[in-house]
Chains A and B, each alone.
Chain A
């Protein structure tokens, strides 16, 4: 099993622990990741804000490189995933558009569009839940699975946009309890958090409050922007909402790594703003003892 790996800009900086834990978990699962050579930023929402053609062209340069690798692409950041997947599908469908976009590319041109996939999809559907070697079940962890927006929307992806299940099933496979969480696909405001911070803090407060009310003792995510707001901004959200959450937010790959017995150094737990140390000490080890 081999994929062209597109880390995207966040996984080299704010979401380093997502990158290291995912790479470690993939290695254990026998998924080979070939990082895309000299990849560029997918353009995120700012590119399409300035010019939709610019957004397609930036994506196309990356897609053309993947095409030469002859592999499907794994994109762990849902912002990149959505952008690249959308570009790939629309450029495959519309030959005239593809020609226009190709004219803007100095290097390799795009012929056929490669498949773009999120790691959750690959782990649940290609590897299969039965093939995940669980050494230390996550008993005692009550996880609110937070999918956010772009893993499933707008539609046509690998999971249901209204009530996705892949992360819930994954957490159960790891031995954790996936609590029923009605806000699993609500937006955290990540895409506008710099120009519209108040709005993002308000949306994030609702998600954290609902996770807490659902009985979760931690939240699993698969998006660097969701993680930034739920984890790094949690103290700010608490101050603004006048509530205390103290809710550790972990990437699904970190939770996988814990259950699979991956060396904790590779999981980057110390990089989280809300430390999961007491959760893992008190809830997890007690339950497994």
Chain B
């Protein structure tokens, strides 16, 4: 995995967001317990331990352009076992939001999270079929066909809601999105 990049230390000063993260990983001793505990490293370009090191050495572009935080299944195995009590899973989630903010992430993953939250913004609650359809249409419409058998089984089992479960406080929820900078659409 991109060893050469790891050797090119300190190309430029970290951004404000990454400098804050750097502080949270300062006690990392590169023991690799996180990577050994992670169930999905094989789908990552950098392992969690490598991400920690890249943050410590200000390799911001490598970190934010990485697949790692998008592959992270937020299972918290790394955080539960880190001998230095670093909240690695939360850090992965934070990397996602920084990457989005800095324009690194045009991928399908982001489409999923945005669709999810735009549904919550409108109804106050999730509406799963709408999420599946919107996500399918913007990423890979053919995949929607692949979801059909499961959709039908869920339909027969009465597990699909077709109408949004609208909450009364929708306006309150919308205002939360509006007041939080960068949230929502």
Contacts and interface: CB of A to CB of B under 8 A. Distances in A.
A153 B78 CA distance: 10
Interface residues of B, number: 61
Lowest 3 A-B CB distances belong to which pairs?
A187-B75, A153-B76, A9-B126
A165 B34 CA distance: 24
B117 A161 contact: no
A70 B175 CA distance: 25
A57 interface: yes
A190 interface: yes
Interface in A229-256: 232-233, 235-236
A153 to B, nearest CB: 4
B120 A232 contact: no
B108 A195 contact: yes
10 contacts: A38-B167, A41-B120, A49-B100, A53-B183, A54-B180, A161-B80, A187-B77, A189-B40, A191-B75, A192-B70
B120 A47 contact: yes
Contact of A271 (B97, B157, B161, B179): B157
A16 interface: yes
B73 A192 contact: yes
A275 to B, nearest CB: 10
Interface residues of A, number: 61
Candidate in A40, A235, A272 with the most chain B CB atoms within 10 angstroms: A40
Given A13-B160, A232-B154, A270-B157, A190 B73 contact: yes
B180 A154 contact: no
B150 A233 contact: yes
A54 B94 CA distance: 12
A155 interface: yes
A10 B114 CA distance: 19
A45 B75 CA distance: 11
Interface of B: 39-40, 43, 70-77, 79-80, 87, 89, 93-94, 96-97, 100, 108-109, 111-114, 116-117, 120, 124-126, 128, 131-132, 135, 149-150, 153-154, 157-161, 165, 167-169, 171-173, 175-177, 179-184
Contact of B125 (A40, A103, A162, A199): A40
Contacts of A53: 180-181, 183
A187 B89 contact: no
A45 B94 CA distance: 11
B146 to A, nearest CB: 9
Candidate in A45, A106, A194 with the most chain B CB atoms within 10 angstroms: A194
Given A52-B97, A54-B117, 6 more contacts: A13-B126, A13-B128, A14-B128, A40-B173, A50-B182, A106-B176
B173 A61 contact: yes
A134 B135 CA distance: 45
B124 A40 contact: yes
A84 interface: no
B184 A50 contact: yes
B97 A51 contact: yes
A107 B160 CA distance: 31
Contact of A154 (B40, B80, B167, B176): B80
